[in-house]
Chains A and B, each alone.
Chain A
Amino acid sequence: MNGRGANVRLLLRIGSEFACVGPLGAAVRAASAQLGLESEAAAEVELSVVEAVNNSIEHAYRLSGDGVVEVLLEALAPGVRIEVRDRGHAMSCGVLERAGPLEFDAAHVPSLPEGGMGLFIVKQLMDEVHYETSGSLNVLTMVRLGSRAGRSR
Chain B
Amino acid sequence: MNLSETMNDGVMVVHVKSPRVDAASAHEFRAAIADVAARGHTRLIVDLSAVQFIDSTGLGALVSALKLLGRDGRIVVVGARESVATLFRVTRMDKVFRMHLSNTEAIAALAEGAR
- Chain A: residues with CB nearer than 8 A to chain B? 18-19, 21-22, 25-26, 39-40, 43-44, 46-47, 50-51, 54, 57-58, 101-102, 104, 106, 109-110, 112-115, 117-118, 120-121, 124-125, 153
Q: Which residues of B contact A115 (CB under 8 A)?
A: 56-57, 60
- Asked if A113 contacts B90 (CB within 8 A), the reply is no
Given contacts A106-B95, A121-B90, A124-B90, is CB(A47)–CB(B55) below 8 Å? yes
Contact B66 A109 (CB under 8 A): yes
Chain B positions within 8 Å of A, measured between CB atoms, are 20, 22-24, 53, 55-57, 59-61, 63-64, 66-67, 73, 82-83, 86-87, 90-93, 95-96
- Distance A118 CA – B60 CA, assembled complex (angstroms): 11
Q: Measured between alpha carbons, how far is A145 from B77 in the docked complex, in Å?
A: 31
Contacting pair A113 B20 (CB below 8 A): no
Cα of A20 to Cα of B19 in the assembled complex, Å: 15
Given contacts A22-B20, A114-B61, 8 further A-B pairs with CB under 8 A are A19-B24, A51-B55, A106-B96, A115-B57, A117-B56, A121-B90, A121-B91, A125-B90
Residue of B nearest to A53 (CB): B23
Chain A facing B: main interface SS: helix
In the bound complex, CA of A113 to CA of B95 (Å): 13
* CA gap between A99 and B64 in the complex, in Å: 21
Q: Indicate if the CB atoms of B92 and A47 lie closer than 8 Å.
A: no
- A40 touching B67 in the complex, CB below 8 Å, given contacts A21-B22, A46-B53, A106-B96: no
**Which chain B residues border A102 with CB–CB below 8 Å?**
91-92
Q: Are A40 and B90 in contact (CB under 8 A)?
A: no
Please give me the residue from chain A that is nearest to B20 by CB atom. A22
Number of A-B contacts (CB under 8 A): 82
**In the complex, how many angstroms separate the beta carbon of B19 from the nearest chain A beta carbon?**
9
B60 interface neighbour in A21, A40, A117, Cβ under 8 Å: A117
Contact of A109 among B53, B57, B73, B91 (CB under 8 A): B73
The answer to whether A40 touches B86, judged by C-beta atoms less than 8 angstroms apart, is yes
Contacts of B92 in A (CB 8 A): 101-102, 104, 106
For the complex, what is the distance from the CA of A115 to the CA of B60, rounded to whole Å?
Answer: 6
Whether B60 lies near A113 (C-beta < 8 A) is yes
Q: Identify 30 residue pairs between A and B in the complex whose beta-carbon atoms are under 8 Å apart, listed by A's number.
A: A21-B23, A22-B20, A22-B22, A22-B53, A25-B22, A39-B83, A47-B55, A54-B23, A54-B55, A54-B56, A54-B57, A57-B23, A102-B92, A104-B92, A106-B95, A106-B96, A109-B66, A109-B96, A112-B63, A112-B67, A112-B93, A113-B60, A114-B63, A115-B57, A117-B59, A117-B91, A120-B90, A120-B91, A125-B86, A153-B90
